[in-house]
Amino acid sequence: MMKRFALGDLVDDRPKDGVFRVNRALFRDAALFDLEMKHVFEGGWVFVGLSTQAENPHDYFTGFIGRVPIIVSRDGAGELRCFVNACPHKGVRLVQKLCGNARRHVCPYHSWTFDSAGANKNIKWAKSGCYGAGFDDDNHDLASVARFGEYRGFLFASLNPNVPSLEEHLGEARKLLDLVADKSPEGVELVPGRVCFTYAANWKMQLENCSDQYHFTSTHPSFIRILDQRGKEQAAEVVQSTLGAADFWQEGASGITGGTMSFDHGHVLNWGVMPVSSAQPDFERAEDLAERHGVAKRNWMFNMRNLTVFPNLQVAENASSQMRVIRPLAPNLTEMQTWCIAPRGESAQARAFRIRQYEDFFNPTGMATPDDTVCYEEAQYGMAEQERPWLQGHARGLAASVEGGNDYADMIDLKPARSVLADAQLCDESLFSSYYRAWAARMAEVLA
């Protein structure tokens, strides 16, 4: 096979020389994008949804793995399954709805019928079909995805069978999903109401922005000013922000205010110290959480945490709690599906507070996210530059990055591959290298 791209031309990874650079081509090249879809998104583990999205027997929801439509269905026996959402007959998308409950799925085109476990239950007029022997030998069930697994309610799938176990893929990032799932003994759920938006830029802009502390005070000053003003006035009609009570992003803060951690397989965390305060809806359970999990883990649950599980899941616990799923559509077009993720069983008051904080900051109709997505689009314009292909956006913190963890990681027995402890102005970018190393690993067979 002719390998059109050489890794060294795309990612300049020379730790000994203190260099980590990414070529703009990764954000714009159409041929590279096709390879990414096949090898990054359709060639390894990706996040597909939460188990509570199909809670009861025969519940289902639909989505995509890369370009391939899928159904996640809970069968009659209560087992979750994941199929390609395409009728084996003519390839027609079997289920058109986003979610629902059905014992049988009937293809709208020729009425082939499948049960909630994906088994073919009827081929219309099969006996009079004069099929050849070859047809009878075929399997007519829905195609199961090669690998499917759950961790604490988070569902992942892979179209490629040759991947590590889900446990190994997630590795230490499991402990960060635990911090989300353990907020309630009943686990987590999605608040009803999905918010979906697109932006005209590459998917990696979102991947990076979630773990980019450097942008916050530059991109969101209009929001920060409103926070300041609300903080002074304490008006009853406006929602209190979690961020007002924290100083990890404040220029004047001193000492260690947070940092970053990177894990194998491309998962990263950036985090900031946030006090256990009534500015967070979880405050009502602060004591209970400390009793259940110990003070250190409880305090970590209140910290600002932006987690990426490579390549498409982000759980942002900062201004509220958000679950994002990244779906690349083209080199310069990305769809974001976003939900408010919340501990089950929290009080009605805490839930309403969480939702208000969420809408204020995270929605594409809110006061912060639009300033991010517009910046992604502006970056996309600049990705056309070819004279100087190397971006300079992956270099901060390189000299502060150490192998392994630190005291903060030790508090919850977290063992990152690398970590950075930071003051408010360090704003590490070296964690992004974890994304590109995982990207390169998935692309290895097509990169020279």
Partner 1 sequence: MSALTQAQAAEFLYREALMLDRFDFDAWLDLYTPDCLFWMPAWRDDGTQTDDPDRELSLIYYRGRRNLEDRVQRIRSGFSVASTVMPRVAHMVGNVLATPDGQGQVRLDSSFIVNVQDVRTNRSHAYFGRYEHELRLEDGGWKISQKVIRLMNDVVPTMLDVYGI
Amino acid at 163: V
Closest contact distance (angstroms) between CB of 185 and partner 1 is 20
**Count of alpha carbons within 13 angstroms of residue 320, beta-carbon side:** 29
Provide the 10 A C-beta neighbour count for residue 50.
Answer: 22
* Closest approach of partner 1 to the CB of residue 388, in Å: 23
**Cβ-based nearer residue to partner 1, 256 or 374:** 374
Interaction mask 104-133, partner 1, x per CB under 8 A: ------------------------------
- Per-residue binding string, partner 1, 377-396, x by CB under 8 A, is xx------------------
By CB under 8 A, name the one of 69, 187, 345, 364 that touches partner 1. Answer: 364
Number of residues in contact with partner 1 under rule CB under 8 A: 49
Residue 282 is given by DSSP the state G
Does the protein bind partner 1 through residue 223 (CB under 8 A)?
yes
With CA atoms as reference, report the closest residue to 198 among 366, 64, 374, 335: 335
For partner 1, what does the binding mask look like between residues 69 and 88, x meaning CB under 8 A?
A: --------------------
Contact 283, 276 (CB under 8 A): yes
Quote the strand ranges of 296-332, DSSP E: 304-309, 313-317, 321-330
Residue with Cβ nearer partner 1 (130 or 235): 235
Radius of gyration of the chain (CA): 23
State how far the alpha carbon of 99 is from the alpha carbons of 338, 387, 437, in Å: 15, 47, 35
Q: Locate 431 and state its tokens.
A: 């964690």
Instruction: Select from 7, 25, 143, 200 the one that contacts partner 1 (CB under 8 A).
Output: 200
For the bound state, the minimum distance from the C-beta of residue 142 to partner 1, rounded and expressed in Å, comes to 21
How far is the C-alpha of 235 from the C-alpha of 256, rounded, in Å? 32
The window from 7-15, 77-85, 285-293, 374-382 that contacts partner 1 (CB under 8 A) reads 374-382
Give the interface segment with partner 1, choosing from 68-76, 127-135, 155-163, 345-353 (CB under 8 A).
345-353
347 part of the interface to partner 1, by CB under 8 A: no
Contact range with partner 1 by CB under 8 A, out of 24-32, 235-243, 390-398, 403-411: 235-243
Does 330 bind partner 1 (CB under 8 A)? Our answer is no
d(CA 318, CA 246): 10
Within positions 137 to 196, which residues make up the interface with partner 1, using CB under 8 A? 191-196
φ, ψ of residue 9 in degrees (nearest 5): -80, -15
Nearest approach in angstroms of CB 298 to partner 1 is 26
Contact, 347 vs 281, CB < 8 A? Answer: no
Q: Phi, psi at residue 270, to the nearest 5°? A: -120, 145
Name the 3-class secondary structure at 420.
Answer: strand
Closest CB 285 distance from partner 1, rounded Å: 18
**Per CB under 8 A, does 102 bind partner 1?**
no
**Contact call for residue 351 and partner 1 (CB under 8 A):** yes
Helix (H) or strand (E) holding 418: strand 418-422
Give the whole-angstrom CA distance, residue 155 versus residue 151.
7
- Say if CB 322 and CB 316 are below 8 A apart: yes
Give the shortest CB-241-to-partner 1 separation in angstroms.
12
* CA–CA separation, 307 and 315 (whole Å): 5
CA distance linking residue 310 with residue 321, whole number of Å = 19
CB of 319 to partner 1, least distance (A): 14
Measured from the CB atom, is 284 or 371 closer to partner 1? 371
Cβ nearer to partner 1, comparing 279 with 421: 279
Residue 444 binds to partner 1 (criterion: CB under 8 A): no
Please select the residue that binds partner 1; options are 136, 138, 237, 387, rule is CB under 8 A: 237
Q: How far is the CB of 162 from partner 1 (least distance, A)?
A: 35
Q: Which two tokens stand for residue 289?
A: 């959480």
Nearer to partner 1, 152 or 356 (CB): 356
Query: Which two structure tokens, joined as six digits, stand for 275?
Result: 């006090």
**Helices 286-293 and 295-302: angle between axes, nearest 10 degrees:** 130
Residues 10-69 that bind partner 1 (CB under 8 A): none
Interacting residues with partner 1 (CB under 8 A): 97-100, 191-200, 219, 221-223, 225-226, 229-230, 235-238, 335, 339-340, 348, 351-352, 355-356, 358-359, 363-367, 369-371, 373-375, 377-378
